[in-house]
Structure 1
Amino acid sequence: MNALLLSAWFGHLPILQILVNSGAKIHCENKDGLSLLHCAAQKGHVPVLAFVIEDLEDVALDHADKLGRTAFHRAAEHGQLDALDFLVGSGCDHGIQDKEGNTALHLAAHRGHPAVLQRLVDIGLDLEEQNLEGLTALHAAAEGIQPDCVRLLLGAGSSVNALTQVTGPPRDWCAPSAA
């Protein structure tokens, strides 16, 4: 992480602005492919998101990290409702799937963020969207042992009897599966 990414990660907007005005490269990434938007979204720093999106040029709103996750995915996965709402209002693509086929709905369900999950349901994400293993958000919530998310998804109309294509042990949600 360079100083610019760290300032976004910790939400230090004045430092970020100083660094940008001093010529910092705004399109930098860390070793995992996290950009300014990823860092700010994951930690819920809406003022930083606003500065990056509104004041910097040529920042791709839907840029993916090495897992194929956008800032929208990161906000959902880490329960950052305000950041998620800001990204939605900024016009991000809600339906992007990461390299494992997970949508923001899968990630929020698995990590147990019912408020974020409810917002994703409200904006119309497909409850039956399957990732590459055939898992829906309901499967992800069950696998992550998230009873509040399971109840929420069932109440929203998720299919209680949907089958997956998984035949082995559950996978690690934090890293791509070995191919």
Structure 2
Amino acid sequence: MNALLLSAWCSHLRILQILVNSGAKIHCKNKDSLTLLHCAAQKGHVPVLAFITEDLEDVALDHADKLGRTAFHWAAEHGQLDSLDFLVGSGCDHSVKDKEGNTALHPAARWGHLAVLQRLMDVRLDLEERNVEGVTALHAAAEGIHPDCVQLLLGAGSSANALTQVAGPPHDWCVPSAAET
């Protein structure tokens, strides 16, 4: 990562401004195609996001990394509600899917980010949206062992009987919780 990406990652707004004013290339990416927006969104740095989107020119709000994930996906995956709200308010595409067919609902549910999951439901993402393996957000929450997310999704109308397209879980998929051992 270069100094500009690191400053966005670490929420060093003043350093970011100095680098931009000194001619740093604002459309830089790391080896995984993460941009300034990706770095700031996943770390929850709203002032940095505001600077990037409001003060820099031609920054693509919905730029995808190598996996097809946008800053919106990264904010959801890392439970960054403030970043998510900022991106929604900035007009990002809520329904974009990554290369595996995941919307932002999938990683939020998989990692148990209840408040983020609720917000994604508030912006009307389709609860029954399936990725390439037929996995819905409910499947992801169940796989991640997040009962609060499972309850939220079921209460919002997710189908408890939806089937994936995968024949069966991987051998290490179901690990018992401490309460079950």
Q: TM-score range by the shorter chain?
A: over 0.9
Partner AA of 2:56 in structure 1: L
Aligned to 1:78: 78
> Cα deviations across residues 86-138 of structure 1 (Å, max 9, x unaligned)?
00000000000000000000110001100000000011000000000000000
Q: Distance in 1 between the 2:98 and 2:146 partners?
A: 21
Aligned to 1:174: none
Q: Does 1:41 align with 2:41?
A: yes
Task: Report the Cα offset of residue 147 of structure 1.
Answer: 1.1
Residues 84 and 146 (structure 1), Cα distance of their counterparts in 2 relative to 1, 3 Å cut: same
Q: Distance in 1 between the 2:148 and 2:39 partners?
A: 27
Q: Distance in 2 between the 1:148 and 1:68 partners?
A: 28
Q: Distance in 1 between the 2:147 and 2:16 partners?
A: 39
What is the correspondence of 1:144-155 to structure 2 with a 5 Å cutoff? 144-155=144-155
Aligned to 2:6: 6
Q: Distance in 2 between the 1:30 and 1:11 partners?
A: 17
Task: Report the Cα offset of residue 170 of structure 1.
Answer: 4.5
Task: Report the Cα offset of residue 46 of structure 1.
Answer: 0.2
TM-score by length of 2: 0.93
Partner AA of 2:110 in structure 1: H
Aligned to 2:53: 53
DSSP 3-state at the match of 1:28:
coil
Aligned identity (percent) is: 84
Contact 1:73–1:103 (CA<8 Å) still a contact in 2? yes
Contact 1:38–1:71 (CA<8 Å) still a contact in 2? yes
- Over alpha carbons, which structure has the higher Rg? 2
Aligned to 1:116: 116
Q: How many residues align?
A: 171
Report the RMSD for the aligned CA atoms in angstroms.
Answer: 1.0
Aligned to 2:101: 101
Q: Distance in 1 between the 2:80 and 2:148 partners?
A: 17
TM-score by length of 1: 0.94
- Structure 1 unaligned residues grouped into runs of 5+: 172-179
